[in-house]
Amino acid sequence: MIRILKLPSTGTICWMIVSLASLSLILTPAVVQAVAPGEEIKAMVYQEIDECANPRPEWVFCNCFEDGNLDIWDDYDGNPPETNLIMEEPGPLDLAGNHVVRLRVPPGRGGADLVKVLPETYDRLYARWYMKWEPGYDFGARNHGSGLFAGDRNLLGAGAGYRPDGTDKFTATLEPRRDTRRMNAYVYYPGMYQDCVDPEGMCWGDAFPCMIDEGAVFCTKPQHRETVLPPVMQTGRWYCIEMLLDGGTPTSDPGAADGILNFWIDGLEIGPWDDLWFRSTPDLKITVLWLALFHHDEHSVEGIMFDNVVVSTSRIGAIGEDPGSPAEPSSWGSVKSLYR
C-alpha cells in the first residue's frame, strides 16, 4: 500500500514522504525523475503538486500561483493585492504550502480579474481552472465570471448590450445564476437572440444552457436548453471547471454556423452546443483567458479563489487526468484520494 503524507512545500520544490510497505522514501524531483517503470504513481503525485512544472505539449498557458507573483499575467491594473491576493491555501488537492489567488471586488459596482493575452491566437481552445467561492460569498449578487475571449484585448469587458458583428469579438464566461446558483455560460456573439429587445437594437448575452424559461420568450431554440442540469454551486469547496470555445467556420450565414461551446463541472459535461454563429472572418480568433469576478452592484466582501489554471488546444481534464488516454481513467476525486 502506498501512503502519502502531506508536508509543506517551498516555492515549486515539493517534498513528500512515501511509505511503501515498511520502506520510507523521501522523494526529491531528481529521485522522481529516476523512478522505475511500475512506480509511475510517485511521478504522477509529484507532478500534481505543481502541474505547470511539467506541462503537456499541447498546453499553451499554465499557472499554479507558486511563483510568488502575478507577472505572467497581462493586466493593465497591475493586479494589486487588495483585489488580487496570492495567499497560502490548501487548494484543490488539500496540500499544505499550496498557493492560490483570491479575487475580491471592492464595495459597489466593479470587478477584479486576471487577464492573460495568450501567446498566439486560436480558432479553438480549452481552458480549465479550479475555483472556490469563499464562505460568506453571496450568490444572490448579480455577477459575471471567467472564460475565453476572441478579439482585440482592448474590447475585453466593453460593449455590454451590443451585438458583436462577426469581425470584432466573441466571448463566453461561466457564472452561477443568482436565482438557482447553477452555472451557465454567458455568451456575446453575432448570433445572440435570447435577450434582444429588437434584433437591430440592444442585445444582451445568451445563456447556455438556456434555463431562463421553458421556451416561451428567451429559450426559443430547444437545442440550447439544458439536457444536463448544472449542479447547484456551493461556497467553501473547490470545483474543477473546464470550457471549450471553438469559433467554427467563418460565415456570413447564421444558418451555416458551426461554432462550439461546451463546459464541464467536476467532469460533468453540460453541453455541447454546436450551431453557434461566432464569426464571419477567419481573422477573428481567441486571444485572451479572462479570470474575473464582476459585480453589478452591492455584494459580499468575500470573493473567489483560483488555482491550477491551464489553457490548451486539447481537453485538459482534472489534475493528473489525461482525457486523451481512456486506458487510464482517473477522476479528480481519485487523484485527490491519493493524498489522504
Task: Name which of 93 and 257 has its Cβ closer to Ca ion.
Answer: 93
- Options 63-71, 135-143, 260-268, 332-340: segment touching Ca ion (CB under 5 A): 63-71
Select the span of 101-109, 172-180, 272-280, 305-313 touching Ca ion (CB under 5 A). Answer: 305-313
CA distance linking residue 224 with residue 262, whole number of Å: 11
Q: How far is the CB of 52 from Ca ion (least distance, A)?
A: 9
Burial group, residue 98, by CB count within 10 angstroms (0-12, 13-18, 19+):
buried
Taking CB under 5 A as the binding criterion, the range among 139-147, 154-162, 236-244, 302-310 that sits at the site for Ca ion is 302-310
Q: Grid coordinates representing 263? A: 463546459
The answer to the question of residue 64 lying near Ca ion (CB under 5 A) is yes
Task: Confirm or reject binding of residue 189 to Ca ion (CB under 5 A).
Answer: no
Q: How far apart are the C-alpha atoms of 321 and 339, rounded to whole Å?
A: 15
CB of 188 to Ca ion, least distance (A): 31
Number of residues that bind Ca ion (CB under 5 A): 5
Cα 147 to Cα 163: distance, rounded to the nearest angstrom? 18
Assess contact for 177 and 213: CB atoms under 8 A: no
Q: How many Å apart are CA 128 and CA 314, to the nearest integer? A: 11
63 touches Ca ion by CB under 5 A: no
For Ca ion, what does the binding mask look like between residues 78 and 117, x meaning CB under 5 A? --------------------xx------------------
Q: Can residue 206 be called a binding residue for Ca ion (CB under 5 A)?
A: no
DSSP 231: P
Tracing cell 483560483 back to the chain, one arrives at 306
Q: How many CB atoms lie within 10 A of CB 168?
A: 17
Contacts with Ca ion by CB under 5 A lie at: 64-65, 98-99, 307
